[in-house]
Structure 1
């Protein structure tokens, strides 16, 4: 038999086998469009079987019988058919697989740790639209100082601003028949001398004056016991602030034995009872420390002058009852900068940390400058002499701020 007669039927048989093998396969994979859940169930039931994307060898298909004379199809031909008739991969996503898919967390490279002050400063600048160079990070140098608590210092002072209202002194002399503003000034002037004599911490002086005013606001005191209230208040403040507090007999001696030990202890008990042991209060000293630090450049002259002006203010009843501790401290710093002719008088950094604008402080600062002008000629010279010393920079001798004089607008 001629060999050419065998070639043609064999080629026709191969083409028929290809068509019969692939056309029914498309029909087997088709489904009626029903509920989506049916498709999911169908796909799940097919797990463990051959995927539909696998190409079936035409000669091995159950419904196709290869002719007896046909030979095995070469692998190259099958590969060519696979590439021509490759079906798209079907991806079935079930509800369980969707729940398991979670975003992959990527490790972020460790960046430089920022302080809370720098973060709040950046937020403030973004909110106010201020240029980045207008605010200074006053805590940058104290990042490694654990005692500076730079991560919490802003939150602490925000809390101080909120709680200063609770411990603020309001007008009380109208309820005191035997005491007036002048007597109070004399008492405070004497307490400043006692404080300096005992070489106590500055916090003790400010807390003492706060205790005196708060006690006089809730208790009527005779004139003869006013000094007793003063030394008993300082005794309480010393026990709260000092490491080595003076003894009761020391205060008896410093008052020239005007009172006995029993009277001092009885008054101490009365003060603590009336104040309900509420001694953790934000005094002007607490705010002064922070605001002086925000006054850039912060030097000893600015610090001493701000303390000088604030203590002059504490001697005056009208200052204590009219302005809160934070405002007295901010006004003292503002008046000190004006006295030293620091330009500008009030910076964005000070405004950010104090919460006060220049206009809000001008009235109180003018009163402090007025007291500065009259300090040299006043009969009550305890504060003036204290800041005449060299260790205080003799800031009491500085010329009062002309921009805040009574004649200035």
Structure 2
């Protein structure tokens, strides 16, 4: 062998075999991918009889649920429901059998003329407002119980005899004019009822000369609007609508005097708060019913005798009763209304008769502010409705 010849490495015949065996040994020691739960076998369906191919993707809870649902649907399709045949008898529900005692008792009552009348159910008028936070369903009953207890506090006393320059007719003319002003300014109904309350309470405590009666009315409306309205009328508007009868200083001075006499006590339960609740209790209630109730109530506001003889809650309940009679609602007075108002039909009948009497002659009186307000089609023209026949024959009323 010469030095120019290449030297070949010596090859051992078992070297490749040993290396191959060594590699297999390493693979045996390595954990196979299929052993870590990545491949999940599908359960064999007994109805199909063949195992499903394994899924080569990671399984999730949603995918597992889908597999089970698919398998169950296949099972349901293969299961045949037993068909009903005409020979299969159908079970009939058993009728409740009455005992001999109940049958004999019923026959005895019928023979004696004793019949059990179904009681008038009390409707849950707040059921539809459960999710309305402004309705205060949890506290509304307690609120109105408090209103009933507090409506006599700071109330109105019979003051006409203690007013040497005033009489009931003058007071009616003032209230009729305030209703007209309220309509022209398009104010909230709360403002009107609070205005009348302020005027009557002030006249109950303070002697007022005749020339200042309208000034008391204007100042009372200004106070009520500041309390109830978002945008109350300005003093200049009140001066203009009173035909410049009073100056700005006189109106503001009377406003201060009224608030001082009343002790700034303005949070009072007026008829309006009771009207809202009692109209809601008049099931079913609609816009026609609502307009009729407010029409009859405002007719009562004009008349001094009605205000003196009935507190606010009774006036509101009587207006609802008279409105139901006018619109031919049957029954005229329900258990739901008696429960929420606290008045029976006999307790409010006399006041309702008077309101219906005012309704009967509303178009003929000299004071027509309420009539003109509710003859408008926007308020259902309820002033044109015929008065309640069941009450007008017995009722009083009168004209001014």
The CA distance in 1 between the partners of 2:120 and 2:134, in whole Å, is 27
Corresponding position of 1:374: 361
Corresponding position of 1:353: 340
Corresponding position of 2:263: 276
Secondary structure in 1 matching 2:131: coil
1:133 deviates by 6.4
Is structure 2 residue 370 aligned with structure 1 residue 383?
yes
The CA distance in 2 between the partners of 1:261 and 1:311, in whole Å, is 29
1:131 deviates by 6.6
Instruction: Give the gaps of 5 or more residues in structure 2.
Output: 1-116
- Which one is further off, 232-241 or 399-408? 399-408
- The answer as to whether partners of 2:357 and 2:395 remain within 8 angstroms in 1 is no
Is structure 2 residue 206 aligned with structure 1 residue 226?
no
Is structure 2 residue 287 aligned with structure 1 residue 300?
yes
1:170 deviates by 1.6
Corresponding position of 1:173: 160
- The answer as to whether partners of 2:356 and 2:395 remain within 8 angstroms in 1 is no
- The answer as to whether partners of 1:168 and 1:325 remain within 8 angstroms in 2 is no
The CA distance in 2 between the partners of 1:280 and 1:289, in whole Å, is 17
The CA distance in 2 between the partners of 1:249 and 1:326, in whole Å, is 35
Superposed counterparts of 1:151-162, under 5 Å: 151-162=138-149
The CA distance in 2 between the partners of 1:300 and 1:167, in whole Å, is 33
Corresponding position of 2:251: 264
The CA distance in 1 between the partners of 2:273 and 2:393, in whole Å, is 29
1:168 deviates by 2.6
Corresponding position of 2:134: 147
Corresponding position of 1:342: 329
Q: Deviations over 1:113-143 (max 9, x none)?
A: xxxxxxxxxxxxxxxxx97861100000000
Corresponding position of 2:14: none
Superposed counterparts of 1:11-50, under 5 Å: none
Secondary structure in 1 matching 2:193: helix
Aligned-residue CA RMSD (Å): 1.6
| CA shift in 2, pair 1:226/1:149, >3 Å | same
| CA shift in 2, pair 1:335/1:252, >3 Å | same
1:391 deviates by 1.0
Deviating beyond 6 angstroms after TM superposition, the runs of 4 or more aligned structure 1 residues are 130-133
Aligned with residue 311 of structure 1, among 288, 298, 301: 298
- The answer as to whether partners of 2:300 and 2:307 remain within 8 angstroms in 1 is yes
Q: Deviations over 1:354-403 (max 9, x none)?
A: 00000000000000001001101001000000000011000000110111
The CA distance in 1 between the partners of 2:270 and 2:238, in whole Å, is 23
1:250 deviates by 1.1
The CA distance in 1 between the partners of 2:327 and 2:179, in whole Å, is 25
The CA distance in 2 between the partners of 1:138 and 1:168, in whole Å, is 29
The CA distance in 1 between the partners of 2:289 and 2:186, in whole Å, is 22
- The answer as to whether partners of 2:295 and 2:383 remain within 8 angstroms in 1 is yes
Q: Deviations over 1:261-302 (max 9, x none)?
A: 000010000000000001000011110000000001101111
Corresponding position of 1:333: 320
Secondary structure in 2 matching 1:288: helix
| CA shift in 2, pair 1:143/1:208, >3 Å | same
